[in-house]
């Protein structure tokens, strides 16, 4: 049986490939996560995240679906790019499910892009505890979102560093 490929271009490349099994969702612009070195592929548009590597891959590959944590995560060594952008805001629902993410590092090196867990949040970030987070941006910068248009609910932030402007 051959493979069926469907491509749709939104703000990032999106492909569904079915090869006799369940579909694989490939999300990019990058085809390889620069932090983990793994291909940018996801089993669905709703991810259950159980490791720092999985969360890193979702953020750094431009994932646009919904994320739910299934355990506490230590993100040391797994820097993230913000979800979404000014031209394609993040409508993602990020559900921390009451878990803690520690040592989070988010960097946006573009003056034109807000920085935070989401660049521009139009979706939701909820039920999440952040400990020891560091968010660095050149423009609008916040721990959860550079610019918020969505819902933020039941969030606890401890020991956060947020820096906007020139940094090295």
3-state secondary structure of 54: helix
Angstrom CA distances, 68 to 86, 90, 99, 137, stand at 24, 15, 10, 25
> pLDDT (tens digit, 9 = 90+) per residue, 79-90?
998 888 888 888
Residue 139 is predicted with a pLDDT of 82
Read off the pLDDT band of 66 (50, 70, 90). very high
How many CB atoms within 10 Å of residue 168? 2
Q: How far apart are CA 51 and CA 75, in angstroms?
A: 9
Q: What are the start-end ranges of the E strands in 50-137? A: 66-69, 73-74, 93-95, 100-102, 105-107, 118-121, 124-131, 134-137
Q: How far apart are CA 27 and CA 6, in angstroms?
A: 12
Residue 77 is predicted with a pLDDT of 94
Cβ(58)–Cβ(90) under 8 Å? no
> pLDDT (tens digit, 9 = 90+) per residue, 101-132?
999 999 887 777 888 888 888 989 999 999 99
């Amino acid at each position: 049986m051959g493979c069926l490929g469907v491509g749709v271009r939104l703000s990032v490349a999106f492909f569904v490939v079915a090869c006799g099994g369940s579909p694989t969702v490939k999300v990019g612009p990058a085809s390889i996560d620069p932090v983990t070195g793994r291909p940018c592929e996801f089993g669905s548009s709703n991810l259950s995240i159980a490791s720092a590597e999985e969360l890193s891959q979702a953020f750094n590959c431009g994932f646009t679906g919904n994320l739910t944590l299934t355990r506490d995560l230590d993100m040391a060594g797994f820097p993230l790019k913000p979800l979404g952008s000014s031209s394609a805001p993040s409508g993602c629902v990020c559900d921390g499910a009451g878990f803690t993410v520690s040592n989070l590092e988010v960097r946006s090196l573009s003056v034109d892009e807000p920085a935070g867990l989401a660049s521009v949040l139009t979706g939701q970030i909820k039920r999440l505890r952040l400990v020891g987070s560091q968010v660095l941006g050149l423009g609008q910068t916040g721990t959860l979102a550079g610019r918020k248009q969505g819902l933020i609910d039941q969030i606890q932030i401890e020991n956060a560093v947020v820096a906007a402007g020139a940094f090295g």
